[in-house]
Amino acid sequence: MAQTRTETLIEEIQNLKAQHNAVILAHNYEPGPIQDIADFLGDSLALARWAQKSSADVLIMAGVYFMAETASILCPDKTVLIPDKEAGCSLADTITEEQLLKWKQEYPDAVVVSYVNTSASIKALSDYCCTSANAVKVVEAIDPNRDILFLPDFFLGSHVIRMTGRKNIHLWHGECHVHAAIENETMLKKVHQNPGAELLIHPECGCTTRALAIPPKEAHGLVLSTDGMLSYARNSEARTFIVATEVGLLHRLRKENPDKEFIAAHDEAACPYMNMISLEKIRDALRYGRYEVKVPSATREKALIPLERMVAVV
């Protein structure tokens, strides 16, 4: 029987990986076919750690641009390729280097904590980086008497304030347009349609505060990173889950838990940038060595400090 187009592409990719000693790192929001061929699959923190541990010469970042930058900063001796150089991030774009410098002037003694969803130049101006998985722990590690500038995601920052109780955290008003669009009414409709379901909420979501206000008898709401959702779903005795995050995660949740039901809190919550990555583009990245992401050494040296602090927090 003749191979399908997808089978042919996967075979080409596997051959090119062996030829170039390459691995594919894919984020949990990538489309299903990309997740299925990945050597490493996870959230931003897991990908950063795996990039450092890998013995490969070439890292294919099946994700968005800041993730490839992060891999380049952490692994300067490796070749980092992103299959589509236009795969950006609406959240990372909400703050510029000039804006951060001006904000720092307003709070000259503050500690800057930047979400990993930022450009390399923003990381280079930061004291700490964090992910949604360890943002609370990163903030808890900082002197409670120091002001904190938390950027760029307002909703994640609000979650950190809620969890730590700190009053000296100043938030940048940025947002991920995909998570911000998961609004209250859509989420509540899914909850009412599925009584008793577990409600898993990513802290970038605009509906987080309302979700946590739902009475426990209607739904058990938990704020978790994507890897946190995966771990919770594996161990929970619940059979039905409503998932408030980018819909790409549902592919992995369903694959790992075929006996459980996973319902998107918002069916349209698909990141257009994550979906720019395709099997064809991964094949071409390997075949032609494109598109390489290399952070300039001066920026890399400064950005490495907050990233290493992020990776060290467990």
What residues contact residue 123 under an 8 Å CB cut-off, 6+ apart? 70, 73, 114, 129, 302, 303, 306, 307
Averaged pLDDT, 257-264: 97
Rounded to whole angstroms, the Cα distance separating 123 from 244 reads 27
Domains with residue ranges and CATH for the chain: 5-87+274-296 (3.40.50.10800), 92-175+301-312 (3.40.50.10800), 182-264 (3.40.50.10800)
Rounded to whole angstroms, the Cα distance separating 245 from 271 reads 10
Residue in the block written with tokens 């161990």: 235
Rounded to whole angstroms, the Cα distance separating 182 from 208 reads 9
Averaged pLDDT, 102-110: 97
| In contact, 310 and 128? CB cutoff 8 Å | yes
- Write down the pTM of the prediction: 0.92
**Residue 314 confidence class, pLDDT cut points 50, 70, 90:** low
- List the Cα angle 87/133/94 in 5-degree steps: 40
pLDDT over 70, % of the chain: 98
Q: What is the pLDDT of residues 65-94, one digit of tens each?
A: 999 999 999 999 999 999 999 999 999 999
What is the structure's pLDDT at 214?
Answer: 77
Q: Is the pLDDT at 211 greater than 80, yes or no?
A: no
- List the Cα angle 233/182/247 in 5-degree steps: 50
Two tokens, residue 52: 């450092």
43-52, 85-94, 301-310: the lowest-pLDDT one: 43-52
| In contact, 245 and 229? CB cutoff 8 Å | yes
Rounded to whole angstroms, the Cα distance separating 45 from 63 reads 13
Q: What is the pLDDT of residues 120-154, one digit of tens each?
A: 999 999 999 999 989 999 999 999 999 999 999 99
**Residue 217 confidence class, pLDDT cut points 50, 70, 90:** low
C-alpha to C-alpha distances, 22 to 27, 81, 168, 184, 276, nearest whole angstrom: 17, 10, 44, 43, 21
Two tokens, residue 121: 């130049």
Two tokens, residue 149: 């500038």
C-alpha to C-alpha distances, 294 to 66, 90, 215, 312, nearest whole angstrom: 11, 21, 49, 23
Alpha carbon 209 to chain centroid, angstroms: 20
β-strands 79-81, 240-244: how paired?
Answer: unpaired
